[in-house]
Structure 1
């Protein structure tokens, strides 16, 4: 397992085509800071640019994912921006980076996932929770506002009514309620949580085509909110027409017929279709 030591508030390691990005301030229950936000965004970008990485597991060291903003440090420095740039709140720096990923992201959450400690995971492809996980969009109980673009992501995951309940009340709720509402895909005993996340990551790495995953992930995020299906159909038509010259399509069919694991050759870094309307983002 390759581990990179240049981060101070997270850890980043790779093994078996999986990158693990972990919040690493367990003494502060992974309280969220600007440095942590920027390190997370950098690590996610590193994983996204590495064609040897197929899946990212996002988790926290210790017994909590994150209790949210570390208020003990006096809050965030709102003036520390480059001249001519607009300040970007720290949770959104990460949720936006996850949104633009070409690799699937699996969040493995145990203990507290409060405020920014849950909003940074809303753009992940999967959220797996431990039975001891506790969630809270507690902003109104602190006199502040939802961040991480959570007012956009959360209703798409659980519906507007449930999002209103959780955000307007600011109450804390358990893993069972989160699972029933669709916020998390599955619930596991704490000691089994990471194993479940890695089993899912290994399946995705072994059996899915990286370019196909990248395109499909962004199709869902970028085009599911269009006013009609017609623009989506236009992109679909270009994608399906490209199958004739797509070696991964041939390999997918052959491996299925020959009952063997696929060996997909196309890589996200070089082989994404040039006509994707969001590619320049």
Structure 2
């Protein structure tokens, strides 16, 4: 699993940063792409990365401010020309459907795939599939805003192939059943127990992504024991009053949230345009004094999200 920061600026684009968008490349076998927010120019940023538009199958919007949404119509349109033929699921606060469908209708934009829009009206689980459970938690901002908690389901443990060969288990469908925890019977009548040939299930990863927010109780729920917390850090240490006036957080508040929630890693994003790339070491150092596993993202920064023990 890999996370990409397509835009890391707040409010408006600058010469050094585009506005907000994050992409999560899911693990094989599906290898799909989930995106979180799509500010103006997001599809241009994708073209500068190794991400494929045709792989995009879910879009999660934190709130309706333009720096998080103005890139949606172009993104949806381009997907039609990039091999994205399957359904695309779009999640966001109440109003996202009107915003998106009105833009598509008035611009005469045709998309040749099914667009499934879910408007979030309360905290809790908003999506489940074979690999993930996704929760949305309301945050403290000037518009209704949600953070997303992605919980990967546990992965079956590795098979002991040497032991399988000793027991005479033929490679193929029986391996799959054993990996899923099913006991199997061989043609000679011997029963092979999954517990004897498969390792313990491996714990799924947890990724928490905030939208714009001032410190609030739901950040702890969102981030509890996460492998990765992505948290906005619009302002620097000492600018708390200004940050809260606009519904934002500082570097030290993001770091404190990570420490309190017991996360493994913090990546900060959504920096005010007053901060240049040369200011990033200072902002990162502010956070690392509180939470050493802190990083400050820049446009096209990407990182692997390691499983605590690989499948």
Superposition TM-score tier, normalisation by shorter sequence: 0.3 to 0.5
Structure with bigger RCO (C-alpha 8 Å, 6+ apart): 2
Say which structure is richer in strand.
2
- What TM-score do the two structures reach when normalised by structure 2? 0.30
TM-score (norm 1): 0.32
